[in-house]
Structure 1
Amino acid sequence: MRVLKFGGTSVANAERFLRVADILESNARQGQVATVLSAPAKITNHLVAMIEKTIGGQDALPNISDAERIFAELLQGLAEAQPGFPLVQLKAFVEQEFAQIKHVLHGISLLGQCPDSINAALICRGEKLSIAIMAGLLEARGHHVTVIDPVEKLLAVGHYLESTVDIAESTRRIAASKIPSDPYDPDGGFTAGNEKGELVVLGRNGSDYSAAVLAACLRADCCEIWTDVDGVYTCDPRQVPDARLLKSMSYQEAMELSYFGAKVLHPRTISPIAQFQIPCLIKNTGNPQAPGTLIGASTDEDGLPVKGISNLNNMAMFSVSGPGMKGMVGMAARVFAAMSRNGISVVLITQSSSEYSISFCVPQGDCLRARRALEEEFYLELKEELLEPLSIQERLAVISVVGDGMRTLRGISAKFFAALARANINIVAIAQGSSERSISVVVDNDDATTGVRVVHQMLFNTDQVIELFLIGVGGVGGALLEQVKRQQEWLKKKHIDLRVCGIANSKALLTNVHGLNLENWQAELNEAKEPFNLGASDPSGERVSPAEPGDCRLYLEPGGCRSVRGLPARRLPCGHTEQKGQHLVDGLLSPAASGGEQIASQVPVRYQRGGGAAGYRKPAEPAERGRRTATFLRHSLRFAVLYFR
């Protein structure tokens, strides 16, 4: 028995539904398959918006119409692609479900509120419809299908909107029901039933948890999570284009990474399968041939001491301190009991060895409730000045480095902190788990993406990455691009990754964080529609002096405003533009070739007045026209800006 879970993006339209059916058929040839399906992409968000708008007296009809359209297009597409698809029956079923949704929304509008039990029953309708559609599709292909009702078979305890499954009792229920040995057993993700037989949900994005629970109850051979990426990466590829795909990781590593913000898995997914030593395979619905990432008891195919870097943004840190903390038994317990009573999740905890203060992080959205809870709990202590006024720092982020190998390998923490220091990123707080497989730091929210990038560069990349932004592509600039194009492959063999990530002339701007294709940059620049303006004036309001014809300046950003070795602006000797281009390449690469330190930057747009050496100073907020350029530069690891006039 294998349990396969497919997320919302995997069943977003008819084409993807058909692909999922193909994957199920392929797996069913090897044995019985149980399937957990999410609602099609955007459906659950629409359902939540319907409830919120109805409570607020707003019109929910646009969301209803969009959701109905998604299902109508889905059914029509499947009917056209699959002979025998039960379009009429499923269309009637969808219409019936939406009629019930509208009826319930009318009741909510009269009440002006939505009880949690009703909320749970509404937001899971997308999963219910996904299961019905998939069952119809598989039956149209001639397969026998048994639909498992999670409300009957899975017992959950807790809140209507955030329940936890009782695996022991659920296992007994499933065993007693004697599910037929049909090759396909679809199950709606994200739902279960309580002791009263009422429907409850397992939390938003809880379909992963549903699959893990079902795998545990069935004692499955494997639990497969099918999503829209090839597996688990060393960090979010959207933040770091060079993120590596991991072949394997342990249960503990996966649990730590998901808890600290990795999006591939729901944080509660690992516990049920780890309890019964069931391997979990992360696969890509759009690329079934990819091997994916295997999560198991002890797997280290990658040979990496650190398996991943993750970050949680939009956090707030509270510090409770004062003489009343020292030597007083139970103060920490009171702090966290106050958070628990108010349903506030504590992400990170750190305490001074003197017992004078204790600090912890909570989601930014819970900041006000957390403050009120602490002020109520410690009202007398604050009044009598046994405790200092609460210290609250907002707009923070938690960056975590995770890996089983950190327990035995020295120097990981040193590299972690050194990378942040070189990027001029201040560390607000530090915490390390007793297992020694993770270490976390708290930084400013604006530094999170840069922090993840520079730490990843330090821990995972052996190549020296230099990202080039070229302003002016005339004779010398064009020659430089030609030289870079010729030498890129050779440089990679020397572990120097030179990327041209931005090109601009007086009319247009062309950027790509992964590096531009230098084979057709001229055509792409000519077609670029975004205007570029180096700045009619610098941030102080002064006019920028143009450089003299033939003059070129090389700017190497040394990580914020720190004074680090860089390349000075230089006037090139007279000669052929090809020689000038090669001269620039040689100069640009000299620090990297000589083993210069890796430089991380958090760079706004820089302006250079003609006639002087390159100056490093942090300007005010860039003009709107240059905002995209500023954002682009801000996330660079090491960035050179060349300006030709």
Structure 2
Amino acid sequence: MKVLKFGGTSVANAQNIALVKNIVSNSESDKNIVVVSALGGVTDLLLNTATLAALQDDSYKAFVKEIEDRHIETIKTLIPIASQSSVLSMVKSELNTLETLLEGAFLIGEITPKLSDKIVSYGELLSSYIISEYFKEEGLDVVHADSRKLIKTNTVNGKTVVNFEATNTLCSNFFSVTPLKVVVMAGFIASAENGDSTTLGRGGSDYTAAIVAAAVNAELLEIWTDVSGMYTANPKLVKQAKAIPHISYQEAMELSHFGAKVLYPPTIQPVLAKGISIQIKNTFDPENEGTIITKNKNEKGKTVRGITHVENIALLSLEGPGMVGIPGISKRFFEVLFQANISVVLITQASSEHSICVGISADDVALAEQAVNDAFEFEMGSGKINPVVVEKNLAIIALVGDNMKSHQGLSGKMFSTLGKNNVNIRAIAQGASERNISAVINKDDVKKALNALHEEFFEENIKQLNLFVMGVGNVGGKFLNQINQQKKYLKENLKLNVRVIGISNSRTMAFDEDGIPLKNWESVLSNGEKADKAKFFETVNKLNYRNSIFVDNTASAEVSDTYSSYLGNSISVVTCNKIACSSNYSNYLNLKQLARTYNAPFLFETNVGAGLPIIDTLKHLIASGDKVQKIQAVLSGSLNFVFNNFNDKTTFHDVVKQAQEEGYTEPDPKIDLSGIDVMRKILILARESGNQLEIDDIQNNPFLPQESLDTTNNEDFFATLTKNESSFQELYKKAVDQDSKLKYVAQFEDGKASVGLQEIPKGHDFYNLEGSDNIVLFYTERYPNQPMIIKGAGAGADVTASGIFADIIRIGNF
């Protein structure tokens, strides 16, 4: 004999019920007890209808009509026309009685628990009757059993509990003499000794099936639902979650108590003592093995079997000096909650006995707060105990596994993972059995916490990075293409799964929580919404993904002003935008401090030298205890390109125009040619060397005429270059006459920095610097005479994009 329970989604409509019939028909057991829930959504409809009726709101009648239509439509779809009459008559008769009950609630303006149970029971009564009649029409050997005659309940402390002695006798007697192969009965509903309808709580259909399975010593209890078993985490929140093939009773109980909704928590208790296995299967994928729950130990001795959570939690804390060493405080505290019929889901107490903290449902918090304050009114009045402290908007997350107790460091691994993602822990609980480690966190952090923990414990150390990219022009576009090209390599070789969740340019922005398909990101962006920097940040913050990284590929001061907001919300920042790090020193220092405080890396390698590892090398020198004495550098790839291509056969205007068109300069080339860009770079290197310096402290020796510096747009700027061509030719001729080359040099020494055009003689390290290359000479205590030299391509969209890419990988390896 086997018991099969089908939930609301499995019997939501006629199409699904047909699938249920196929599963039952194919069962190999000699007798099948089929327990069904109400049609999907009907229980909620009944509860809402009853509430509206009690409020004397006429709109409840529309819900009654909807409930009737759902059942009539199901009958007409499932039952042949010739057989519909008797079924429709029976169902309409029951619906008329339901309507009468609701009219009564409407007239008296209230609904009692007894009446509520009576009303809500109609969901299962009607669905089980319709399904049994459909089975008959399909040729199954079936009978419909009234659950109210088989499952009896008592009332204990105001709560309905099963009378197992009476129930076991009734079930054993009924099923032992029933010759038919299939028995269909309603889940969720039962009756008191006086015959009044009672219910077993939301999810009670699972419980019904377990009660019956234990009563008849069934060979197996199958729970048919819309997922293929119990998962390592909620698959709606953690897309990488996977079904657990085999799990113990205790592990399943922990997971279900802590929010795994696939199984109603009390379900396991009746079958546990009998050793009856539970199999959770998918109605819509019946060939899938799902999850088997037994008393056996879990497969291969795995430690963490699942990660789960409970939402809508509040913390209630009682503390004060008068609690220390005083017997009975805890007893009184929990007795108050018991008398108020409030269930405690988590308990933690400091070893000093100075405080007790419990987690309860947020729905009970007002009642609990008042009850506890009333009970300890005297102690609070004398200052021995403080008024109870309430914290709301919380949730509990839990790691579950039988073998966790035999593995060291799991708690540390859990809390370290949460800490790295800036998930604040409000309370912790762990039983002596170590089967469960629970933590209370902000409810807004649940999705991030679950995904971070799942990644740590179940995903073979593959780390997911979630990118939000602002600026997808020349550099940004190359960066997205590089990510797309290397995605597979990163996952297979570096264990990094890089997803781009949001992108924006100056006109539009777009988000995709599953990751923007990078093969056609241009199309996605063109169909996006209007760009809004504030809304972009709000969306990133609201999504609250683990390992979130904001990537700034712009040259915008307005965008750089948002870095503190990102870092302050534990969102890493990677940028090629030099404005923030060359802004006032206090802002630079604040951004670095925010990065440390909120464990959000702030990386800007491409601020100096594009893709060259200049800043990273400097950081390693400083970290290892070396000290910088002098820096000499050619830091502008654009200026090096210009002066390497400018001669007496070209015009300065044409060479600068070429550099702009090939992406070597900023969109406004005056930023490069005025020396501002190089000033920012040497300032950043000076600061990263440990020096406090402002941009105004740097001496700038411009080579551009003043009228070029005074222009406000590119058209006027280029016009002045043509006008002053003779001046530029004179600079070139003077250098040639000295057998030298023109290079724009930045220097820092003895706390002072300068930038300017210099004539570099033959034999100097800068002389043969070709194309758009950069070069940096670090003179340090360890490299006093022969400097450490870093040289290579220092400009261009591809190398800048690769530098940003490298910073992303650095974060992935943190």
Retained in 2: the 8 A contact 1:480–1:582? no
Q: Counterpart of 2:805?
A: 588
Please name the residue that 1:287 is paired with: 285
Match of 1:141 among 115, 128, 138: 138
Cα separation, partners in 2 of 1:285 and 1:39, compared to 1, 3 Å: same
Report Cα offsets for 1:545-582 as digits up to 9, x if no partner.
99459xx9998969354425443163656768998457
Structural mapping, 1:84-233, within 5 Å: 86-158=83-155, 163-177=160-174, 178-233=176-231
**Do the aligned partners of residues 581 and 147 (structure 1) sit closer, same or farther apart at CA in structure 2, a change above 3 Å counting?**
farther
Matched residue, 2:389: 391
Aligned residues of 1:248 and 1:302 also touching (Cα < 8 A): no
Give TM-score scaled by structure 2 length.
0.67
What does residue range 47-58 of structure 1 map to in structure 2 within 5 Å? 47-58=46-57
The SS at the match of 1:15 is helix
Identity of aligned residues (%): 32
> Who is 2:467 aligned against?
468
Letter of the aligned partner of 1:459 in structure 2?
Answer: F
Give the secondary structure class of the aligned counterpart of 1:319: strand
Structure 2 counterpart SS, 1:86: helix
- CA-to-aligned-CA distance 1:475-517 (integer Å, 9 cap, x gap): 5444433333332222221122122323344554443323233
Name 2:315's counterpart in structure 1. Answer: 317
C-alpha distance in 2, partners of 1:154/1:197?
Answer: 11
Q: 2:455 aligns with which of 442, 454, 457?
A: 457
Question: What is the CA distance between 1:221 and its match in structure 2?
Answer: 1.3
Report the counterpart of residue 77 of structure 1 in structure 2: 77
Number of residue pairs matched by the alignment: 586
Q: Which amino acid aligns with 1:382?
A: M
Correspondence for 1:568: 604
Tell me how far 1:349 sits from its aligned partner. 0.8
Residue equivalent to 1:266: 264
Q: 575-584 vs 414-423, which deviates more?
A: 575-584
229, 236, 239: which one aligns with 1:238:
236
Q: CA deviation at 1:590?
A: 5.3
Structure 1 pair 355–51 and aligned structure 2 pair: CA distance change class (3 A): same
Residue matched to 2:479: 480
Q: Deviations over 1:505-546 (max 9, x none)?
A: 455444332323344444444455x4442349999xxxxx99
Residue 180 (structure 1) shift: 1.6
Q: Which amino acid aligns with 2:129?
A: A
CA distance in 2, matches of 1:440, 1:96: 50
1:132 aligned counterpart, secondary structure = helix
Q: Give ranges in structure 1 of 5+ residues lacking alignment.
A: 540-544, 598-645
CA RMSD of aligned residues (A): 3.1
Alpha-carbon deviations, 1:371-424, whole Å to 9, x = none?
Answer: 222133223333343322222222222221111121100110001111121122
| Structure with greater proportional helix content | 2
Max Rg structure: 2
For residue 148 of structure 2, what is the amino acid of its counterpart?
Answer: V
Match of 1:638 in 2: none
Residues 584, 247 of structure 1: alpha-carbon distance in 2 compared, 3 angstrom cutoff: farther
Whether the aligned pair in 2 keeps the contact of 1:162 and 1:201 (CA below 8 Å) is no
Alignment of 1:377 with 2:378, yes or no, is no
1:518–1:562 CA distance, 2 compared to 1 (3 A): closer
**Pair 381,471 (structure 1): closer, same or farther in 2 beyond 3 Å:** closer
Structure with the bigger RCO (C-alpha within 8 Å, sep 6+) is 1
Secondary structure of the residue that 1:244 maps to in structure 2? Answer: coil
User: Contact between 2:121 and 2:197, CA under 8 Å: does it hold in 1?
Assistant: no
Q: Does 400-409 or 422-431 show the bigger shift?
A: 422-431
Give the deviation of 1:258 after TM superposition: 1.3
Q: Distance in 1 between matches of 2:244 and 2:51?
A: 39
Distance 1:73 1:469, change over 3 A: farther
Instruction: Name the CA distance, whole Å, in 2 between partners of 1:160 and 1:94.
Output: 35
Task: Give the direction of change, closer, same or farther, for the CA distance of 1:117–1:537 in structure 2 (3 Å limit).
Answer: closer
- Farther-moved stretch of structure 1 (270-279 vs 487-496): 487-496
Q: CA deviation at 1:162?
A: 5.0
C-alpha spacing 1:535/1:113, structure 2 compared with 1 (3 Å)? closer
Q: Is the 8 A contact 1:86 1:136 kept in 2?
A: no
Distance 1:15 1:261 in 2: 29
Q: Shift in Å at residue 591 of structure 1?
A: 5.8
Return closer, same or farther for 1:586/1:145 CA change in 2, 3 Å cut-off: farther
- Partner residue of 2:443? 445
Q: 1:378 to 1:248 in 2, by over 3 A?
A: same
8 Å CA contact retained: 2:470, 2:553: no
1:9 is paired with a residue whose SS is coil
Q: Is the 8 A contact 2:476 2:801 kept in 1?
A: no
- 1:162/1:202 contact within 8 Å kept: no
Q: Compute the displacement of 1:126 (Å).
A: 0.8
Change (3 A) 1:367 1:585: same
Deviates more, 1:455-464 or 1:12-21: 455-464
The CA deviation at 1:246 is 1.3
SS in structure 2 at match of 1:151 = helix
